[in-house]
Amino acid sequence: MINIVLADDHELVRDGIKALLEDQKDIVVIDEASNGKEALEVLERTKPDLLIVDIRMPELNGIEVVTEVSKKHKNVKTLVLSMHDSEEYVVQAIQAGADGYLLKGASKDEFLKALTKVASGGKYFTGDVSAIIMNNFVNGNATTTPKKESVTDPFHLTKREKQILSLVLQLKNNKVIAEELQISKRTAEVHRFNLMKKLDVKNIMELSNKAKEYQLI
Amino acid sequence: MINIVLADDHELVRDGIKALLEDQKDIVVIDEASNGKEALEVLERTKPDLLIVDIRMPELNGIEVVTEVSKKHKNVKTLVLSMHDSEEYVVQAIQAGADGYLLKGASKDEFLKALTKVASGGKYFTGDVSAIIMNNFVNGNATTTPKKESVTDPFHLTKREKQILSLVLQLKNNKVIAEELQISKRTAEVHRFNLMKKLDVKNIMELSNKAKEYQLI
DNA sequence: ACAAAACTAAGTATTTTTACTTAATTTAAG
DNA sequence: CTTAAATTAAGTAAAAATACTTAGTTTTGT
């Protein structure tokens, strides 16, 4: 039996998911939350097998929730739902430790497939995203071989530089980057400068294009 | 008995609405459509009392569907659903002849209230719509006709602004934009500034996110 | 334990962006 | 033809990015 908690601020979406799961004998929605903070409270109480969490919610967003779950509820799988097929969102979901990512427009079949895969310990990332993301990682996840790593890291970026690169490609400015990484703005500036130098680019446009060309993120 | 047709490209949302209406004895969902064109076809066949239609759909968007329904199916009430509490969308819905407008985040109570009101010949518009209507009609914006561009261009960007937006989203700086459009750098700067103001964003990151959210480019 | 690499954050300076306004000219709509 | 809207480009000023360097501290590798 798979016990599920739903976290989404739209009641229609929660109802839709419950309706979709109604005839699944081995899957049951045991509780719901309508914001991120409530989601964590509900998790604490009910200890489900799997959390389905919308990426955008009040109080805490889905990424923040998944980050907390990864730290404090290692037995709970997380499946992130999003309206948008956004590469940034996918990257953020993976970085936060999500076990899956799905678009709200997904079919019932795909939805169930994702649920089942994730509940049984696998990963499920929707459609076109999987191929892109599996070639990339930011914090040096040990799931890939060293050979693969050297192919995907031709510029020998450090761990911190990869983090900075990811945030810069999300168009975050130095102030925001500093806040998120809890470093000084001057530190963020220097990492950014070093990054541009390593990649031999002059501006953000060239940086973005090179990142895409070499599939750095 | 109120016969309803649902038009929304997300199965989850359709399922959610059906679940919400399951225990309403006098309301029944008789058919569904997943795009605008299909919605009109289904309407032709089933002649429901009320159409619930998402504002953004493939083939024909919700505004276009409502416009057609107002012309050709005068007995069918229309309730427009939207993710965004957007003044532009509300005005367009009204101008197209919609009987109601509701956010997808509305509560079950509000949803049922809207359905009942609209089905019985009344109007139901969510939130601060009265204020919005007063603001718009007093300022003489009431006479424009609904167009496809209005849904895809809720911010009323000019031709030049769209060009600038496209180039900015390609991360080109003002010097490059000026060269490509053969205008002064100062001109590019002002267009860019006006763009940020229209979209109510503070930086490139917010601009990019909003562009994706509203599918502006 | 030690050395190398990475990270951190300060310094000064130049360039670009953002902010906001004003106003002339061109284009589009009625 | 007239008016409104859009486009153009100038002004001043603050903030941020870029450029480059130096140097102390922390982390990692041998």
Strand order in the sheet with B77-82: B27-33, B2-7, B50-54, B77-82, B100-103, B124-125
Q: Is residue A140 part of a domain?
A: no
- Looking at the fold, whether B86 and B164 belong to one and the same domain comes out as no
CA distance A58 to chain B (A): 12
Any idea what DSSP says for residue A85?
-
Per-residue pLDDT reduced to its tens digit, A130-166: 444 444 433 333 333 333 333 457 788 888 998 999 8
Interface membership of A203 toward B (CB under 8 Å):
yes
Contacts of B179 (CB under 8 A, 6+ apart): none
Q: Is residue A141 part of a domain?
A: no
- Looking at the fold, whether B72 and B114 belong to one and the same domain comes out as yes
Per-residue pLDDT reduced to its tens digit, B170-186: 899 999 999 989 999 99
SS3 B101: strand
**Portion 92-131 of B in contact with A at CB < 8 A:** 104-108, 111
d(CA B41, CA A104): 25
Instruction: Note the pLDDT of residue A87.
Output: 61
Q: Is residue B150 part of a domain?
A: no
- Looking at the fold, whether B15 and B80 belong to one and the same domain comes out as yes
CATH of residue B28: 3.40.50.2300
Determine if residue A177 is left, alpha or beta; phi over 0 gives left, psi from -120 to 50 gives alpha, anything else beta.
alpha
- Looking at the fold, whether B7 and B48 belong to one and the same domain comes out as yes
Write down the ipTM of this complex: 0.57
- Residue A7 in contact with residue A38, Cβ under 8 Å? yes
d(CA A10, CA A20): 16
Q: Out of B145, B165, B197, pick the residue that ends a domain.
A: B145
Per-residue pLDDT reduced to its tens digit, B56-108: 888 888 888 998 898 888 889 999 988 766 666 777 787 788 888 888 778 88
Q: Is the pLDDT of residue B137 over 80?
A: no
Q: Which long-range contacts (CB under 8 A, 24 or more apart) does B196-201 make?
A: B198/B155, B198/B156, B198/B157, B198/B161, B199/B155
Round the CA-based radius of gyration of chain A to a whole number and report it: 19
Q: Is residue A139 part of a domain?
A: no
pLDDT band at A25 (very low <50, low <70, confident <90, very high): confident
State the greatest distance between any 2 C-alpha atoms of chain A, in Å, as a whole number. 57
- Looking at the fold, whether A125 and A161 belong to one and the same domain comes out as no
Q: Is residue B68 part of a domain?
A: yes
Q: How far is the CA of A190 from the C1' of D24 (A)?
A: 16
Domain residues for the domain of A190 are 146-213
Contacts of A194 (CB under 8 A, 6+ apart): A161
- Looking at the fold, whether A157 and A107 belong to one and the same domain comes out as no
Q: Helix A185-199 vs helix A174-181: angle between axes, to the nearest 10 degrees?
A: 110
- Looking at the fold, whether B94 and B53 belong to one and the same domain comes out as yes
Interface membership of B217 toward A (CB under 8 Å):
no
Q: Is residue A75 part of a domain?
A: yes
Q: Out of B88, B111, B145, pick the residue that ends a domain.
A: B145
Q: Is residue B19 part of a domain?
A: yes
- Looking at the fold, whether B112 and B17 belong to one and the same domain comes out as yes
Q: Out of B145, B173, B199, pick the residue that ends a domain.
A: B145
CATH of residue A178: 1.10.10.10
d(CA A179, CA A169): 16
- Looking at the fold, whether A10 and A101 belong to one and the same domain comes out as yes
Q: Which residues of A touch B203 (CB under 8 A)?
A: 171, 173
Tokens found for residue B193: 């500034």
Per-residue pLDDT reduced to its tens digit, A175-208: 999 988 989 999 999 999 999 999 989 899 989 8
- Looking at the fold, whether B159 and B137 belong to one and the same domain comes out as no
- Residue A114 in contact with residue A79, Cβ under 8 Å? yes
Tokens found for residue B118: 């609209």
Interface membership of B14 toward A (CB under 8 Å):
yes
Q: Which residues of A touch B167 (CB under 8 A)?
A: none
Q: Which residues of A touch B105 (CB under 8 A)?
A: 9-12
Q: Is the pLDDT of residue A33 over 90?
A: yes
CA distance A37 to chain B (A): 18
Nucleotides on chain C that have an atom closer than 7 A to a protein CB are 5-11, 16-22
Q: Is the pLDDT of residue A38 over 60?
A: yes
**Total structural domains in chain B?**
2
- What is the rounded average pLDDT for all residues in chain B? 83
- Looking at the fold, whether B136 and B173 belong to one and the same domain comes out as no
- Tell me the count of A-B CB pairs closer than 8 A: 82
- Looking at the fold, whether A43 and A102 belong to one and the same domain comes out as yes
H or E element, residue A99 = none
Which nucleotide does the CA of B158 lie closest to, via C1'? D6
